[in-house]
Structure 1
Amino acid sequence: MSATVRRSPVPRPVTLCNDRRKVDAYARLAHLTAITTPVLFVLPGPRREYGLHHALGAPQVPVQTLLPVPQPDLAAATELARQFITAYGSYRYDQPAEAYLARLRPITSDELYQRLARSAHNSAVLATRQREQTIVVANARVIRIHDLQANAIILLVSGHQQTLHANQ
């Protein structure tokens, strides 16, 4: 009695002269099937790795495909961060705390909103703003992604406030 053993194909290392041809073939396959397939190159050493990088040039991989979140979600998070810093940093001495908080409500969680509400009603801060007739206009821009995880996007946002005093 004999048994037939079927072996799954084992990836073979490719030689440098075949590398470019293989990469082009995978690119055509991805284009035709709309399926992106990771390609693993097993290289014997750093010289060969350098040669492969040199032969391939800059990667043709769109950066968005490497992100753990879809690009529209990243864009929305970026805009939300910019809006929050702008709204949080802008206020007027003659504006009630409720009007200030109304701008923040749609872009904050319940927990953050409650903390902001407590600080927005701080009588000492409100009295100082009223006495100095302070008007502050903020703007913000996202500088870069600081950290990106499957469930968190941490952005570095730069805020700038222009302070005016109505009584001057």
Structure 2
Amino acid sequence: MNLTDRQRKLLFVGLVVALAVVGVYLTIAAPDRDSSDSATPRTTPTTAASSGPTGPASPPPGISGAVAPSSFDIYRLLPFSQREFTTAADLAQRFVAAQGTYRFDEDPKVFTARLAALVTEQLRGEIERGATAPGILDERRSQQIVAEGTATLDRVRDIEDNSIIFLVTGKQQITKSGKQSTDSKQYAVTVARDGGSLKVYAFEPADAGQAGDTG
């Protein structure tokens, strides 16, 4: 195709403008792309979170100023807030009272269901196996045993990042073969973080000892 001098000049000018536009675009777009890549963190696949107890969301706030008896806040040094501590103490007390309350004519599943909301899944399974043991059921039914439990919080045995161990005295009013009696036993009750809540993790007679932290 034959072009006139004027047409060749116009074509040349058009090519120059097009190349200039492309150059400007590449100059502007490249930093933006690099900036976007560097601002976005590269993630790698992670394993699922542990189903066991998790630590506190943040460390205790601590105390930086002078310690004064009139304003000293012990919870600033503990891995549990006052609300969590209260919840844990309530759980330990209610659990001991509930596990000491049963009837010979009650379905063991009903007994276990009363404790289900207070304990971890693992402990619930252990309680269910104990409540359905033939020897225990036979004894309660043959002697028509009825027990009503109450509990007293005694003291804190240990505090760890994930758990608190309370010493709790369980008291029972027992009717056995028509005769009434009382019984009292102290337990070490571990309340631990279980996902987003607090649950009774373990319990045993206080004189048997018990490990503290659970996670």
Pick the TM interval, shorter chain: 0.5 to 0.7
Change (3 A) 1:150 1:76: same
CA distance in 2, matches of 1:100, 1:109: 15
Change (3 A) 1:92 1:110: same
Question: Which portions of structure 1, spanning 4 or more consecutive aligned residues, are displaced by more than 3 angstroms?
Answer: 56-59
1:160 aligns with 171
> Which of residues 46, 57, 64 is equivalent to 1:38?
64
* Structure 1 position 59, deviation (Å): 5.3
Contact 2:63 2:77 in 1 (8 A): no
- 1:86 aligns to what SS in structure 2? helix
Please, which runs of 5 or more residues in structure 1 have no aligned partner? Answer: 1-34, 41-55
CA distance in 2, matches of 1:37, 1:57: 11
Report whether the alignment pairs 1:111 with 2:122.
Answer: yes
Report whether the alignment pairs 1:72 with 2:98.
Answer: no
The size of the alignment, in residue pairs, is: 119
> Which of residues 81, 88, 100 is equivalent to 2:99?
88
* Structure 1 position 57, deviation (Å): 7.5
CA RMSD in angstroms, aligned pairs only: 2.2
Report whether the alignment pairs 1:135 with 2:161.
Answer: no
Contact 1:135 1:166 in 2 (8 A): no
Contact 2:63 2:76 in 1 (8 A): no
CA distance in 2, matches of 1:57, 1:110: 43
* Structure 1 position 166, deviation (Å): 5.8
Matched-pair identity in %: 28
Change (3 A) 1:167 1:57: closer
Larger radius of gyration between Structure 1 and Structure 2:
2
What per-residue deviation string (whole Å, max 9, x for no partner) do you get for residues 95-121 of structure 1?
110111110111111111111111111
Please, which runs of 5 or more residues in structure 2 have no aligned partner? Answer: 1-60, 180-215
Change (3 A) 1:150 1:57: closer
Instruction: Report the TM-score when normalising by structure 2.
Output: 0.51
- 1:159 aligns to what SS in structure 2? strand
Change (3 A) 1:102 1:153: same
1:120 aligns with 131
Report the structure, 1 or 2, having the larger strand content. 2
CA distance in 2, matches of 1:96, 1:159: 22
Instruction: Report the TM-score when normalising by structure 1.
Output: 0.64
Change (3 A) 1:154 1:121: same
